[in-house]
Amino acid sequence: MIVSTAFAKADVAVFGLARSGIASVKSLVEGGARVFAWDDKEDNRAAAKREGAVVRPFTEWPWDKIKALVLSPGVPLTHPAPHDVVVAAKDAGVEIIGDVELFAREIRADRTKAGRAPVIAVTGTNGKSTTTALIGHILAQCGFVAEVGGNIGKSALDLAPPTPKTIYVLEVSSYQIDLSPGLTPDVSVLTNITPDHIDRHGSVENYAAVKARLLAQTAKTGQVCIGVDDPLSAAIYTRYASSGGAEAAPVSVGKVLGRGVFVLDGALYDAQGQRAAQVMNMSAAPHLPGAHNWQNAALAYVAVKPFVKDVRQITAAIGSFPGLAHRIEDVGRIGKVRFVNDSKATNAEAAERALICFPDIFWIAGGRAKEGGIETLKPHFNRIRKAYLIGEAADDFAKTLGGTEHEISGTLEKAVASAFADARAAAAAAPVVLLSPACASFDQFKDFEARGDAFRDFVKHLAAPERQAS
């Protein structure tokens, strides 16, 4: 645990007591703060009380004494309207921050000490979790102590204290960036930007501006890595490259760059020096299929170069990456039928990255739809043998699919069973049952992990009779 000492002997408030909130309570209490806390859920309140917090509604907090409000990233800060606790904090002149900011202040305070641990921060709409995990994997394979967390896995404050070999690798969402003005990474990575979380930020321009803020906060002596294949990110790179900040490296898949790193025809090239040099073929990384994963690999390659000088070590580590759960995750085969869990695909852009990887798809989609639905996926419908629609979006998705064969399955369990039966009976040599919902999960599951775990369990149940029969 990273102990937050910035508010020792002071009063601090924590609102929202899920993973990051409880980590904040523990860190602050350990650091000598008196912590007031609240959450709508009784179990979360009980957990905070066990950690030493004073648990009471925020309307009863001593706002005139509180030095800072540590806000859960999921609580509305500005849009569609500020939460009442945000209004109360602003009225009282109380600073509003998040758990990543507490982490950043502790690490920044340690900058004057020998062995201060570097920080790599990764953001973007899609691909940030895989890129973050891959960076951590490369660093670990190359002998570093890679502490990976933030918006993936552990809260930043739940990571281990630094050692001389520690490098922190944080996935940071736009929500977390909003609450982390003091985060100054040594390396910042922007994967891409497509419209998302508009309800939280008000417009795609505001959303992009938050992502760009992380780059602006990068240490002047650091490195910024930007995927430039979408217009919004390309525009950010153009602006940033002339800003005089940290060194900026563009990354592309499909475009030859005069300077930067790019992937062309499945080969990774480094053009950061005097000439472009091929450093690896992505066929050597079997758990990073598709152009989107090639971008993730290229970004990770750039991000670790300040720390790992031997390119062969980097490429070997990329090749050994085992993949990430719920992201085009191969969960098994039954006969000729392959099952792929891509539950993390919570919007159309993410689902597209899976659809282009396979030719004969029995597609499970649906849930709580994002703005725009699946209209942008129409060019890939020819890859879909049949679609199986679940959740709130089923009827709307059915309309968009039109003549593409589909059924409204309703539940994931029914969809898996129907897709398997159809895939097994199909003439295709290598059919794929693909869960890539293009939707949030919250209508039927608590999160995308629970949805992906359920898919994996349903596949196991299907496989059990097959094993008994053999």
Is 324 a member of any domain?
Answer: no
Q: Helices (H) and strands (E) in the chain — how many of each?
A: 15, 22
The answer to whether residues 146 and 74 belong to one domain is no
Out of 97, 117, 151, a domain closes at 97
CATH number of the domain at 69, please. 3.40.50.720
H or E segment at 250?
A: strand 247-253
pLDDT in the model for residue 172: 97
Out of 319, 337, 367, a domain closes at 319
H or E segment at 29?
A: helix 19-30
DSSP state of 284: G
pLDDT in the model for residue 466: 61
Provide the residue type at 2 as one letter. I
State the greatest distance between any 2 C-alpha atoms of the chain, in Å, as a whole number. 71
Residues 265, 272: contact at Cβ < 8 Å? no
Is 240 a member of any domain?
Answer: yes
- Percent with pLDDT over 90 in the chain: 84
Q: How do beta strands 337-341 and 329-334 pair?
A: antiparallel
By the 10 Å C-beta count (0-12 exposed, 13-18 middle, 19+ buried), 463 is classed as middle
CB atoms within 10 A of CB 79: 14
The answer to whether residues 17 and 138 belong to one domain is no
Residue corresponding to tokens 């993973």? 19
The answer to whether residues 344 and 358 belong to one domain is yes
- Mean pLDDT for all residues in the chain: 93
Residue corresponding to tokens 């790992």? 308
Beta bridge partners of 66: 11
386 vs 381: CA distance, rounded Å: 9
Beta bridge partners of 334: 337
The answer to whether residues 69 and 119 belong to one domain is no
Residues 389, 406: contact at Cβ < 8 Å? yes
**Which residues does the chain have with pLDDT short of 50?**
111-112, 114, 470
Domains held by the chain: number? 3
Handedness of CA 66, 74, 129, 334 (dihedral sign): positive
363 vs 340: CA distance, rounded Å: 10
Cis peptide before 306 (omega within 30 of 0): no
Residue (of 173, 155, 135, 223) closest to 4 by Cα position? 155
The answer to whether residues 161 and 179 belong to one domain is yes
Phi, psi angle pair for 169, to nearest 5°: -125, 110
pLDDT in the model for residue 200: 67
Residues 33, 97: contact at Cβ < 8 Å? no
Residues 18, 40: contact at Cβ < 8 Å? no
Is 442 a member of any domain?
Answer: yes
Write out the DSSP string of 158-207: GSPPP-TTEEEEEE--HHHHHT-TT---SEEEE----S--HHHHSSHHHH
Residues 6+ apart with CB under 8 A from 41: 17
The answer to whether residues 264 and 315 belong to one domain is yes
Is 4 a member of any domain?
Answer: no
The 10 Å CB-count burial string (b at 16+, else e) for 319-345 is bebebbbbbbbebeebeebbbbbbbbb
Is 312 a member of any domain?
Answer: yes
Residues 6+ apart with CB under 8 A from 85: 15, 38, 58, 69, 71, 75
The answer to whether residues 348 and 394 belong to one domain is yes
CATH number of the domain at 455, please. 3.90.190.20
Is 231 a member of any domain?
Answer: yes
101 vs 172: CA distance, rounded Å: 11
The answer to whether residues 76 and 129 belong to one domain is no
User: Rounded to the nearest 10 degrees, how much is the dihedral formed by the CA atoms of 148, 119, 447, 384?
Assistant: -90
Out of 97, 129, 161, a domain closes at 97
426 vs 428: CA distance, rounded Å: 5
**For the whole model, what pTM was predicted?**
0.84
pLDDT in the model for residue 196: 63
H or E segment at 389?
A: strand 384-390
317 vs 357: CA distance, rounded Å: 23
The answer to whether residues 361 and 261 belong to one domain is no
172 vs 174: CA distance, rounded Å: 7
pLDDT in the model for residue 115: 56
By the 10 Å C-beta count (0-12 exposed, 13-18 middle, 19+ buried), 360 is classed as middle
Residues 276, 270: contact at Cβ < 8 Å? yes
The answer to whether residues 54 and 117 belong to one domain is no
Residues 388, 437: contact at Cβ < 8 Å? no
Is 452 a member of any domain?
Answer: yes
Is 3 a member of any domain?
Answer: no
Write out the DSSP string of 33-56: -EEEEE-SSHHHHHHHHHTT-EE-
The answer to whether residues 408 and 288 belong to one domain is no
The answer to whether residues 62 and 116 belong to one domain is no
Domain span holding position 89:
11-97
CB atoms within 10 A of CB 467: 8
